[in-house]
Amino acid sequence: MKIQQGRNRENKPLNFAVGPVMMSDEVLEIGSQQIPYFRTAAFSEIVKYNERMYLSLLNAPENSRAVFLTGSGTSAMEAAVINTLDAGDRVLVVNGGTFGSRFCDICDIHSIPHDVIKCEYGKTLTREQLFSYNAHNYTAFLVNLCETSTGVLYDLNLISEFCRLNNIFLIVDAVSAFLCDRIDMSESCADIVITGSQKALALAPGLSLLALNERAVDRVLRNNIKSLYFDLKAYLKDGERGQTPFTPAVGTLLQLHGRLKQIERDGGTDGEIAKCRKRAKYFRDGIKKLPISMFADSPSDCVTSLVLSDTSKSAYNVFETLMNDYNIWVCPNGGELRDKVFRVGHMGALDNTDYDRLIEALGAFFAVDEKVEGG
């Protein structure tokens, strides 16, 4: 599906969603090429480079491994859980929205005992909430570092402190947070970190990435699971030679190779986080005169979630109007937040002039007479 051509046809389509995001010309060029055969030494070297760079960007500890899984971020969430946890575990799950609920669903489906820390939509996990579960014999902890459905960023330092104190195995879904908010596997006690190709990596969807430290690798090797495609033992074994057990998303892995070189050139993790933070600040400063406000009390820099001051207006109508009249995509919400919240992403190939156009369109939607400056 193409982004619709709205009434402002002279303007290029702009995508402020939180995945897929706008891709750079360099990545688009890679994606336009024919897909090569991949069981070759040359492709193996590309995969090995991708693994080294991904682990480097996370400052993963020595002997860590990466797995490239052809599937969305949810496939990596499920693979991480079923390869390292079982019915003998007692798991604690943070649920503050759609993706926290997804971790709960995965545990339910696979009969993994778990308790839930329920966070109110838009609210972060507090120390008081978390430490009420201290010394309760939990063995694992699941968290979506950025609950993308609400834009909340949880405190990884706080969670790491709790997990260290209780010797808990920590799985972090950083699908949206990676390269937008700081994640250091060596400083934190994250055993597995997950991300996806269509977020801050700004690639085509369809590839998820898992970083596993030595403790996680050991759990994978010891845990016998009933799955062919999701058995990570096969991925770890084939990964030693730069391959995957099944046909991977070859084109996206080639895009990843180009994108990782681009990131390395542009200052690595720090450079990407700084870009994302600047985009978020520019947009948030630029909307201060508009009748909307931040929804998340501890926002990630990957996305700004917004509520309308005028409750008679629908947030979903903002999404529809921007798409149809301005050729601009933002992210709508579903469920009970459908008419209350919409989200604006800060990942991908976007600059201040793109945000100026979005802010101007939002000003027109809310019938703001005065000129809204971009910050």
Q: pLDDT band at residue 6, thresholds of 50, 70 and 90?
A: very low
Picking from 90, 135, 133, the residue whose alpha carbon sits closest to that of residue 113 is 90
Helices (H), 173-243: 214-222, 232-239
Please provide the distance, in angstroms rounded to a whole number, between the alpha carbons at the two ends of the chain.
Answer: 33
At 87, phi and psi to the nearest 5?
Answer: -65, -15
pLDDT for the residue 367: 80
Q: What percent of the chain has pLDDT over 70?
A: 95
Kind and range of the H or E run holding 278: helix 268-286
Tokens, residue 25: 């010309």
**Choice among 8-17, 45-54, 155-164, 323-332 with the minimum mean pLDDT:** 8-17
Residue 70, beta-bridge partner list? 207
Average pLDDT value for the chain: 94
CB neighbours of residue 45 within 10 Å: 12
Largest distance between two CA atoms of the chain:
64
At 325, phi and psi to the nearest 5?
Answer: -100, -20
Region 73-83: mean pLDDT is: 98
Residues with Cβ within 8 Å of 108's Cβ and at least 6 positions away in sequence, in order, are none
CA distance 241 to 147: 35
Query: Is 70 exceeded by the pLDDT of residue 166?
Result: yes
Residues with Cβ within 8 Å of 253's Cβ and at least 6 positions away in sequence, in order, are 43, 46, 47, 50, 68, 207
DSSP character for 288?
A: T
pLDDT one-digit tens code per residue, 81-118? 999 999 999 999 999 999 999 999 999 999 999 999 99
pLDDT for the residue 10: 52
DSSP character for 2?
A: P
Region 62-84: mean pLDDT is: 98
Residue type, 264: E
Q: pLDDT band at residue 328, thresholds of 50, 70 and 90?
A: very high
Query: Is 50 exceeded by the pLDDT of residue 375?
Result: no
CA dihedral sign, ordered 362, 368, 370, 375: negative
Query: Is 60 exceeded by the pLDDT of residue 9?
Result: no
Residues with Cβ within 8 Å of 237's Cβ and at least 6 positions away in sequence, in order, are 245
Kind and range of the H or E run holding 100: helix 98-109
CA distance 74 to 106: 9
